[in-house]
Amino acid sequence: MSDTQNAVLDNPTMNDTAHDQPVTVRRAILSVYDKTGVVELAQVLKRQGVEIISTGGTMSKLTEAGIDVTSVESITGFGSMLGGRLKTLHPNMLGGILARRDVAEDESQLKDAGIGLCDLVVINLYPFSKAADDPNASLADAIELIDVGGPTMIRAAAKNHAWVTVVCDPSDYSTLAKEIEERNGSVSALTRRRLAVKAFAITAEYDAKIASHLGAASQDDKADFPDIWIQSYSKVGTLRYGENPHQSAAVYSKTGTTGPSLATAEVTGGKLLSYNNYGDLDAAWRMAADFDEPFAAVFKHANPCGAAMGNDIREAYELAHATDPLSAYGSVVALNRKVDRACAETLNETTFVECVLAPGYEPEAMELMLKKKTRRYITVPTMDITSSKLRRFRDLVGGLLVQDDDLKILPESDLRVVTETQPTPEQIRALLFARKVVKHSKSNAIVLAKGTAAVGIGSGQTSRVDAVMSAVQRAGERSQGAVLASDAFFPMKDGPEEAAKAGVAAIIQPGGSKRDDEVIETCNLHRIAMVFTGMRNFRH
């Protein structure tokens, strides 16, 4: 390593003053797959006297528009080769991009080789994602859309952003063109740095998509959880604050998402969604999406305080809100059916609902609901999230936990009755309903239900018996004859004993405790029916 390189590593700010100067664009390379706006940008460059180098379809597009263009072939001395795989990778191209203007040796070598400097690189990449996301596209089709020359030139220009401007997103053309015109052909250091950062992010995202697709195509056992986890997200917006006013926050959308997305969902009415709104809405949506029948979920602090099915969406919401009206104050609501006027009337009668999420709203219903000026209405085109192959993430200090979402279906045939008292068909239906609700409640969690409506929810407790008592306290007299769902096994008989005191008639739980026999004996003593599922549903 040279002394100069060592000095730069020791002092990253070395030469920053020189590099903070504007750079006049005299020569530009334009080679784009997406030709949106490229003609307009080229016209601005021509008015500033910039020489434009181009290739293939871009050159044809610019020539048709009457713009004089220098071909890449005339610079490199080679035409397109290998079916278009090789066009721009040549010292005569890359040398002009990578050369440092303040290093005499670089200038001398370019002069000896007859290579001209390049001040602007405008490139966007082959649409690999288009083939990767197309179920009818073969692996060979996708591989042919892996861009090689484009990322190389983008990264070269981004590396040398002290002297070169790089643009790889058509949405940046107009801003850049305006700056070039206002500054008489030059680009500021701040703009060059900003565009370089974006360029590196775009190429990183591009490579991540390729690695993910090829990994999945290899059918490797590690494809779902690769050795190197790479995901890319684009910022949708900055939030007012995080969980608390002293915390900063933003919302991002996962790049390449084609299914339903809360991050980009349509929001009507009221102020912008908050960090806490997003968390509650995500939890409520996941629960509502788990039911095929008309269903309503009422959530507060990422926990359900109401859940119910109904003959229609209005009845589902009425029953859900009745689960715990006190806790529902300031809640978010998720509905898995389009909101009609009848449901809208009931929603408007409810005091202080922060947000409502649904697959749609009838015009008459929306007109009525917008009378609630502060309430937000979120539209997601479909409630089905199973096709999105969802993951659950949790930050660690210096790490990340990743797991599959809990989407496994429990067939009724998997239930095992373990008590002398047999559950009735109506109780089985209620037990399966309660078990779905409890799976979306933070552990330790207990749900009491009657029919297909929750009447008491105890969640987020540090002991299971406390969760039972919390659910019973919320249910009150409604616990008489109710069914109970537990997200994990009862480690002791105290939980079922509390349920028996409250009049619970049937219990569903995974089973698997070393004290299962004591728990079963307790249920037999109180003539409570109990079924084991063999499936735990923790949500921490």
Tokens describing residue 216: 């999945």
Residue 338 CB coordination number (10 Å): 14
Cα(391)–Cα(388) distance, integer angstroms: 9
* CB under 8 A, 24+ apart: contacts of 225-229: 225/402, 229/400, 229/402
Q: Establish whether 371 is a catalytic residue.
A: no
DSSP calls for 61-104: HHHHTT---EEHHHHHS---BGGGTBSS-SHHHHHHHH--TT-H
**Strand pairing class (295-300; 303-309):** antiparallel
Of the candidates 180, 176, 161, 11, the one whose C-alpha atom is nearest the C-alpha of residue 101 is 161
Cα(342)–Cα(357) distance, integer angstroms: 16
Helix (H, G, I), strand (E, B) or coil at 525: helix
Q: What is the CA radius of gyration of the chain?
A: 31
Of the candidates 89, 90, 85, 86, the one whose C-alpha atom is nearest the C-alpha of residue 143 is 85
Of the candidates 1, 4, 155, the one whose C-alpha atom is nearest the C-alpha of residue 89 is 155
Active-site residue (options: 198, 301, 338, 526): 301
Active-site residue (options: 159, 198, 254, 338): 159
Tokens describing residue 209: 């998509």
Angle formed at CA 281 by CA 249 and CA 269, multiple of 5 degrees? 85
Cα(506)–Cα(527) distance, integer angstroms: 9
Name the burial class of residue 96, with classes exposed (0-12), middle (13-18) and buried (19+) by CB atoms within 10 angstroms of its CB.
Answer: buried
Q: Establish whether 246 is a catalytic residue.
A: no
Cα(215)–Cα(223) distance, integer angstroms: 5
Q: CB–CB of 100/145 below 8 Å?
A: no
**Strand pairing class (250-254; 233-238):** antiparallel
C-alpha separations of 285 from 78, 333, 440, 523 in Å: 57, 9, 10, 35
Helix (H, G, I), strand (E, B) or coil at 36: coil
Residues assigned a catalytic role: 159, 301
